[in-house]
Amino acid sequence: MTPSERLKGIEAFVMTASAGSFTAAAERLHLTSSAVGKSVARLEARLGIRLFERTTRRLALTEAGTAFYRTCAQVLTDLEEAETVLAVQQNEPVGRLRVDAPATFGRLRVWPPLLRFAERHPRLRPHVSFTDRFVDLLDEGIDVAVRIGGPDHWPASIGCRHLGRERLLFCASPAYLARRGAPASADDLARHDAVLYGKADGSVSPWLIAHADGQIERRAMTGRIIAGSGDAQVAAVKAGCGIAQLATWLVDEAITRGELAPVLPALATDGLPLHLLWPVGKQLLPKVDAVLAMLTEELRIA
């Protein structure tokens, strides 16, 4: 049996064991759960050993599977380190790069420059996920994460680069303002329809009102429409459903095109912080160092 034949199914097996299910492993490998399950089954058949105990409710390693997992995980680590040595010598970003970014911000602001970066480095294999949950970088094998919000201080195992704070702006469609008139003050906002952001736990984000003395008021509003994504809020505002407070990165192009208009621009205020995160042990890898430099330049907020 050749070395390449011995490696068949190993990555699927190791990922399934670490993720705890075929479905979770499939998401990380960018495959279907059926394909991962079949790959593991073929590996078991070739070895003549059952690696997992399967029930309708759980998937667990057998005793033999546990021993095999330790060895296989080390083999894959050694292979990646060998690839890294070559990459360091060539100072060229190569290999698989796991990037995680917020859903809307990631699609609009992270994905385009990352595609250009991948085109310049054809030996790089980006694997990008878009999610608004705070993933565990170490547990889920993420090389670089873009985060809006979060704590001011991260664990020592996580590198962090602050890129600034998003800017929040009230805006509405020209049609809505023609129909209802523009608010003249912060207090005048109460007579207008509000398009608010609703969180997964059922709570609704308040509007932030900047006062002349520098104080920021968190004002709870009654929304005509509550949406759980920035994209949906923008669509509702464009449709003339009301006024929303949105990040400038989300609406600046629509404002330039005349689809939206700023409302009470003097009330614009800072929003959540923007960070780049990475496992500190990976920063010296050319692929991680290069993408951190690129994203810092592309995403930094003045």
**Cα 285 → chain centroid:** 21
Q: In the structure encoding, which two tokens stand for residue 59, read together?
A: 């998937």
Q: Is residue 107 scored above 90 in pLDDT?
A: yes
> What is the rounded distance in angstroms from the CA atom of residue 196 to the CA atom of residue 228?
9
Residues near 199 by beta carbon (within 8 Å), at least 6 away in sequence:
205, 228
Q: pLDDT by residue (tens digit) across 212-264?
A: 888 889 999 998 899 988 999 999 999 999 999 999 999 999 999 999 999 99
Would you say the C-alpha torsion 174, 175, 181, 186 has a positive or negative sign?
negative
Instruction: Give me the pLDDT at residue 88, please.
Output: 55
- pLDDT band of 302, cuts 50, 70, 90: low
- pLDDT band of 102, cuts 50, 70, 90: very high
Instruction: Give me the pLDDT at residue 3, please.
Output: 54
Q: Which of 163, 7, 37, 15 is nearest to 96 (CA)?
A: 15
Q: Is residue 4 scored above 80 in pLDDT?
A: no
Q: Which of 67, 87, 107 is the last residue of a domain?
A: 87
Instruction: Give me the pLDDT at residue 262, please.
Output: 96
Q: Is residue 5 scored above 70 in pLDDT?
A: no
Q: pLDDT by residue (tens digit) across 134-181?
A: 888 888 889 999 999 877 677 888 999 999 999 999 999 999 999 999
Kindly state whether residues 136 and 238 are assigned to the same domain: yes
Kindly state whether residues 33 and 152 are assigned to the same domain: no
Q: Is residue 196 scored above 80 in pLDDT?
A: yes
Tally of structural domains, the chain: 2
CATH of the domain at 8: 1.10.10.10
Residue in this structure with the two tokens 């859903």, named with its chain if needed: 103
Q: What is the average pLDDT score of the chain?
A: 88
> What is the rounded distance in angstroms from the CA atom of residue 148 to the CA atom of residue 101?
9
Kindly state whether residues 260 and 168 are assigned to the same domain: yes
Kindly state whether residues 77 and 160 are assigned to the same domain: no
Q: Higher model confidence: residue 237 or residue 87?
A: 237
Kindly state whether residues 221 and 124 are assigned to the same domain: yes
Instruction: Give me the pLDDT at residue 205, please.
Output: 93
Q: In the structure encoding, which two tokens stand for residue 40, read together?
A: 């593991």
Kindly state whether residues 173 and 59 are assigned to the same domain: no
Residues near 180 by beta carbon (within 8 Å), at least 6 away in sequence:
192, 193
Residues near 166 by beta carbon (within 8 Å), at least 6 away in sequence:
148, 247, 248, 249, 270, 271, 272, 274, 301
Which H/E stretch holds residue 264?
none
- pLDDT band of 94, cuts 50, 70, 90: confident
Kindly state whether residues 43 and 100 are assigned to the same domain: no
Instruction: Give me the pLDDT at residue 51, please.
Output: 92
Q: Which of 87, 109, 136 is the last residue of a domain?
A: 87
Kindly state whether residues 171 and 259 are assigned to the same domain: yes
Q: Which of 39, 64, 87 is the last residue of a domain?
A: 87
Q: Is residue 284 scored above 80 in pLDDT?
A: no
Mean pLDDT calculated for residue range 96-104: 92
Instruction: Give me the pLDDT at residue 154, please.
Output: 79
Q: Is residue 129 scored above 70 in pLDDT?
A: yes
Lowest average pLDDT, out of 78-92, 194-208, 221-235, goes to 78-92
Kindly state whether residues 99 and 58 are assigned to the same domain: no
What residues make up the domain containing 199? Answer: 89-301
CATH of the domain at 152: 3.40.190.290
Which H/E stretch holds residue 235?
helix 230-238
Instruction: Give me the pLDDT at residue 281, please.
Output: 80
Secondary structure of the chain: what % helix, strand, coil (to 5)?
45, 25, 30
What pairs with residue 52 in β-bridges? 61
Three-point CA angle 213, 177, 256, nearest 5°: 80
Kindly state whether residues 147 and 76 are assigned to the same domain: no
Q: Is residue 272 scored above 80 in pLDDT?
A: yes
Instruction: Give me the pLDDT at residue 215, please.
Output: 86
Residue 62 Cα distances to 29, 54, 55, 172, angstroms: 23, 10, 13, 59
Kindly state whether residues 181 and 32 are assigned to the same domain: no
Q: In the structure encoding, which two tokens stand for residue 280, read together?
A: 């500190």
Residues near 257 by beta carbon (within 8 Å), at least 6 away in sequence:
none
> What is the rounded distance in angstroms from the CA atom of residue 76 to the CA atom of residue 17?
13
Instruction: Give me the pLDDT at residue 150, please.
Output: 78
Instruction: Give me the pLDDT at residue 171, please.
Output: 97
Instruction: Give me the pLDDT at residue 85, please.
Output: 60
Kindly state whether residues 25 and 159 are assigned to the same domain: no
> What is the rounded distance in angstroms from the CA atom of residue 111 to the CA atom of residue 101?
9
Share of the chain above pLDDT 90, in %: 54
Q: pLDDT by residue (tens digit) across 25-52?
A: 888 888 888 888 899 999 999 889 999 9
